[in-house]
A and B are shown apart, each in its own frame.
Chain A
């Protein structure tokens, strides 16, 4: 079709030809963009399980360090969370970004605060992951894309009944999957 004929087709005044105007294409493009962006927005939503994963991780650690309300006797700053709690070190360290941090406080140094306890005397902490600190900072900054969970447990000393511990477990997951 030469230029003259094309121009005639686009600009002639008959009813059928009027539809073939630039406006028709603009409307089609708007409809196309609207539908595709809506479909993409709905179907590209990721299933976010980071908080659930972090929660399972902290439950596993709490189950592992407590024995009927008592703190495990071998729990100390060099406690190997991976072998003792049946958590795979390779996955935690290589597959994704995880945070495992356990802070042990003297329970008698704690005072009740809104939403939990505020403790003054920290005895020691167990930092199981190398990237724990950096993720912990992001958790404090409340980065919503990271699943952060903080749980606390009150445990007694098996040997010395006058001692009690308040243990804060902070876990985080930033693992997306592959």
Chain B
């Protein structure tokens, strides 16, 4: 191989390695900063604490448009929020295989529904 050929091969290897390195770095940062896990945890805790704090008869309407946006971003079509009255568990799921649950200790029952038009979580504490 002559000198010009050697320079070309090493340049190609260098470019491929550089692109590969920065692509991997970009994918990692994008994956981590999508924030789905942070949103899941923050909203599950917020909803559980709202239920704990509320007195019977309280009606709460919580804006969860950020959750819907994240679920759309992650192409997740399932139920994003679940409040289980048996186990008293508030679950938020924004991606397949993800999800975070937090229990509320209040003995009050919660009647709830997700309104997809206004993107709000409506709750009534009984």
Contacts and interface: CB of A to CB of B under 8 A. Distances in A.
A88 B6 contact: no
Contact of A177 (B9, B38, B45): B45
A8 B107 CA distance: 75
Nearest to B108: A86
Most buried by A among B6, B88, B105: B105
Contacts of B102: 175, 177-178
B45 A14 contact: no
Interface string B83-114: 00000110000000000111111111000000
Given A49-B45, A177-B45, A95 B9 contact: no
Contact of A87 (B10, B41, B107): B107
B106 to A, nearest CB: 6
Interface stretch (B29-37, B57-65, B70-78, B115-123): B29-37
Contacts of A115: none
A92 interface: yes
Interface string A39-69: 1100100110100110011011000000000
Contact of B29 (A35, A46, A57): A35
B49 A53 contact: yes
A57 B48 CA distance: 13
A131 interface: no
A49 B107 contact: no
A91 B6 contact: no
Contact of A20 (B10, B29, B33, B107): B10
A40 B32 contact: yes
A53 B51 CA distance: 11
A47 B10 contact: no
Nearest to A52: B49
Most buried by B among A15, A32, A60, A88: A88
Interface residues of B, number: 35
A98 interface: yes
Interface in A1-56: 8-9, 12, 14-17, 19-20, 28, 31-32, 35-36, 39-40, 43, 46-47, 49, 52-53, 56
Contact of A17 (B7, B29, B32, B42): B7
A39 B33 contact: yes
Contact of A91 (B32, B44, B103): B103
A43 B37 contact: yes
B41 A46 contact: yes
Contacts of B29: 35, 39
A157 to B, nearest CB: 26
Given A15-B7, A90-B88, 10 more contacts: A14-B6, A16-B7, A20-B14, A47-B42, A49-B45, A53-B52, A60-B52, A87-B107, A175-B102, A177-B100
8 contacts: A17-B6, A35-B25, A43-B32, A49-B45, A56-B52, A91-B103, A91-B105, A92-B105
